[in-house]
Amino acid sequence: MKFALVNGQRQEAQPNLSGKCPICDHPTLAKCGEVKIWHWAHLGKRLCDRWWEPETEWHRAWKDRFPVDWQEVIHHHAETGEKHIADVKTDRGWVLEFQHSYLNPEERCSRETFYGKLIWVVDGTRRKRDPEKFFEAWREGSPVQNSAFVRRLRSDECALVREWADSQAHIFFDFGDEQVLWWVTYARPNGSAYVAQFPRADFIEMHRSAVTQKIPFEEFLKKLGELVTGYEALLQVQARNRTFPQPLRGGFPLALGNRRRRRF
């Protein structure tokens, strides 16, 4: 954990501090070594949130891009009493979960059901071959609307895409590029997946801004949904008529703010 309660106040781990867990109220100890990032740990082997996992520097760096008050927000299910700590919850109600380690499908489904309005940001560099296989599948994918930014690819050609293809949430792969994230959506485990390049800075900005005149994330969801629905309809026509799909009219805005909007 990044935060524990010290004298009733949320505080980051510092040497020689002790505190209490904000979710179970049991004692915690600040772990401030030279190898792992500084964090709080329960005394003994207690683990009050079964979804908790050790944080990497990648994980912590993503959290730190958002306001402190949005980090490690406790979610409480009113009917069952179940509690979990979300990595980040924005002022628009989106829960952002930053996932480095492998996550089994049952737990992923449970998290998506529990949080509801959930976005995954996945570390795509955890396995050495994943970036290579992903970009190979991207190159072989079909441009949607003759776009360089959105493609339809085979989900079974890349293990990383296949592992996340049945997710009901939106998934962004982070391959360490400071410019771009890769948005995977409308995916099927043994079929197709739609992948869009998405500017990293815009992703962070649109989720950080409490009041913004920028394009909200919900607008991008709508645009991408319309794009995919239209393209799928064209593919059905192609299958019936044995013709090649033609470009759709309109577009999916990439850039935000006062910059000139590019279109896919």
Put the strands of the sheet holding 3-6 in their side by side order. 9-12, 3-6, 18-20, 27-31, 39-42
Q: Whole-model pTM?
A: 0.80
Domain that holds residue 19: 1-48
pLDDT at residue number 157: 86
Residue 95 inside a domain? The answer is: yes
pLDDT at residue number 245: 55
Residue 263 inside a domain? The answer is: no
Q: What are the beta bridge partners of residue 121?
A: 98, 172
pLDDT at residue number 63: 94
> What are the b/e assignments for 59-83, b being 16+ CB within 10 Å?
bbebbebbeeebbbeeeeeeeeeee
Residue 251 inside a domain? The answer is: no
Could you tell me where the beta strands, DSSP code E, fall in the chain? Answer: 3-6, 9-12, 18-20, 27-31, 39-42, 71-76, 83-89, 95-99, 118-123, 142-143, 150-154, 170-174, 180-185, 192-199
Which CA distances in Å does 231 have to 104, 139, 148, 234?
31, 19, 15, 5
pLDDT at residue number 34: 73
122 and 11: one domain? no
Residue 64 inside a domain? The answer is: yes
31 and 88: one domain? no
d(CA 234, CA 187): 18
pLDDT at residue number 191: 81
d(CA 5, CA 25): 9
119 and 11: one domain? no
Which CA distances in Å does 189 have to 45, 132, 157?
37, 19, 10
pLDDT at residue number 259: 42
Residue 24 inside a domain? The answer is: yes
pLDDT at residue number 44: 66
102 and 44: one domain? no
41: number of Cβ within 10 Å? 18
pLDDT at residue number 119: 96
13 and 93: one domain? no
Say how many domains are in the chain. 2
d(CA 6, CA 11): 6
pLDDT at residue number 243: 55
d(CA 218, CA 223): 9
32 and 160: one domain? no
94 and 208: one domain? yes
Q: pLDDT tens string for the chain (264 positions)?
A: 788 877 787 877 888 888 887 777 777 877 877 767 777 787 766 667 778 777 889 999 999 999 999 999 988 887 788 889 899 999 889 999 999 999 999 999 999 999 989 999 999 999 999 999 999 999 999 998 777 789 999 888 899 999 998 898 999 999 999 999 999 988 776 688 999 999 999 999 888 875 554 677 888 888 888 888 888 888 888 888 775 555 554 455 554 444 443 333
Residue 37 inside a domain? The answer is: yes
**Sign of the alpha-carbon dihedral angle for 173, 174, 180, 181:** positive
d(CA 97, CA 147): 29
d(CA 40, CA 27): 10
Residue 247 inside a domain? The answer is: no
6 and 126: one domain? no
Backbone angles phi, psi at 67, to 5 degrees: -55, 145
127 and 186: one domain? yes
pLDDT at residue number 182: 97
118 and 204: one domain? yes
Residue 257 inside a domain? The answer is: no
Single residue among 48, 66, 85 that ends a domain in this structure: 48
155 and 180: one domain? yes
30 and 140: one domain? no
